[in-house]
Structure 1
Amino acid sequence: MSAHRALLDQVDALLEVDGPLPIVQAGDPVLRRPAARYDGQLDDARLSFLLAAMRRTMREAPGVGLAAPQVGLSLAVAVLEDGWPVDDEHARAREREPLPFRVLVNPAYTPHGTERVAFYEGCLSVHGWQAVTSRWRTVHLTGSDEHGHPLDELVHGWPARIVQHETDHLGGRLYVDQAEMRSLTGPDHALRWADPTPERAAQELGFPLA
């Protein structure tokens, strides 16, 4: 069986799932392999159905982004959306603003400027855990959308964090690869660190903040 046929069969199997797609968890090799560049391997109907299924899965998880490897597909495609309510204090501290639904195809980013910011971050493929992760405050995003239209833009604040997180997935990287592991909190303690910034967590757990 050709690799292309195998991919189509894999996508078709996912699209038969009744409900949100299963999310692959850390330890699965697909999360550690650079995703294959998307070059039109899927016809328009399959791509449309896949993106809709990924969007539903992301929303119901719930999350703010989902990359194709997280549903077992080695394709450089990700969906992003952040419309979850957040109080004004958290929004200001994290530079978090609504991020309308969008698709990234073959995305790449480079830092714009030298400023980095550190906040707690989680991942649907590392279920229940969070750790403080330093990210570029502003990035230059390139790639294309699902229609093939090129992307060339600056992304700032919390949306930039989401872009970096999901693009890293497509390179076989997880946020824990660069997180401050002394800050790691499990499911029973995550809400303890629901402060706008991680300063209190840094003091109590004894880790540095950049």
Structure 2
Amino acid sequence: MTPVIDDAYLRQAVAAVLAAESLPAIVQAGHPVLRMPAFPFTGQLTGAELARLVQIMTETMRAAPGVGLAAPQIGIPLQLAVLEDMFEVSVENAAARSREPLELLTILNPRYTPVGSDTASHYEGCLSMSGWQAVVERPSTVDLAYDDDHGTARIRRFSGWQARIVQHESDHLAGALYIDKAVTRSLASNAQYSQHWANPGIAAAKAGLGF
């Protein structure tokens, strides 16, 4: 039976995650919570509950491992996400993808706005679409309006790979997955990506897959 995703569902989902003795499973594409706009955070959790949920989400993201995790990915329809990219990458990779470290960041109720018209296209994966990657074209720079975990409204500009992470996780909170924006002809299993297309850029994939 398809669950009714409402305030009661939200409260039950949060309670289950907070009470569990292990990290939550990351739900996969096809789960309805991934395909609905998450509820704005309006104080549904106490400060202690929010802090504990952020801690659990951070541990889950790092264990996966990933560079971001949105609350719907652990079954909680709340506009909350954690982001972090401290992975070591090659100089060539960092240059091609404009990839710089991103320290742990918690965002609530985020909304991003493209800055300028420049875009970048790169392969993306998703913890909720395990085993697959595809090329997504996204704005190169965005301004993100969000609330931090203390309830303070903030606006911050992100560029390069950081902007991609911000957009990917914010899209989750609007009920969108990266595949909705992907060049579907570029879709590759992780194994095929690793064997053929794991390059800093996408030129070889464009030539080999015809997109």
Same fold (TM over 0.5): yes
Write out per-residue CA displacement over residues 84-119 of structure 1, whole angstroms, 9 at most, x where no aligned residue. 110100001100000000101000001000011000
Structure 2 residue 188 is the aligned partner of structure 1 residue 202: no
Amino acid at match of 1:206: G
For residues 113 and 15 of structure 2, the distance between their equivalents in structure 1, rounded to whole angstroms, comes to: 34
User: For the residues of structure 2 that align with 1:19 and 1:135, how far apart are their CA atoms?
Assistant: 35
Pairwise CA distance, 1:189: 1.1
Q: CA deviation at 1:26?
A: 0.2
Asked if structure 1 preserves the Cα contact closer than 8 Å seen for 2:10 and 2:78, the reply is no
Separation in 2 of the partners of 1:168 and 1:51?
19
* Residue 153 (structure 1) aligned with residue 156 (structure 2): yes
1:137-157 alpha-carbon deviations (Å, 9 max, x no partner): 000110111111222121100
Partner residue, 1:37:
40
Contact 2:40 2:109 in 1 (8 A): yes
Normalised by the size of structure 1, how large is the TM-score? 0.94
Percent identity (aligned): 50
List gaps (5 residues or longer) in structure 1: none
Please report how far the alpha carbon of residue 12 of structure 1 lies from its aligned counterpart in structure 2 after TM superposition: 1.8
Q: How does 1:119-134 map to 2 (within 5 A)?
A: 119-134=122-137
Runs of 4+ in 1 over 4 A off after TM superposition: 3-6
Q: Is 1:136–2:139 an aligned residue pair?
A: yes
Task: Summarize the alignment of residues 167-206 of structure 1 with structure 2, pairs less than 5 Å apart.
Answer: 167-192=170-195, 193-206=197-210
Where structure 2 has 5 or more consecutive residues not aligned to the other structure, the ranges are: 1-5
CA-based RMSD: 1.1
SS at match of 1:58: helix
Q: TM-score, normalised by structure 2?
A: 0.94
Paired position in structure 2 for 1:79:
82
Aligned to 2:73, which of 70, 73, 80? Answer: 70
Question: More displaced, 142-151 or 170-179?
Answer: 142-151
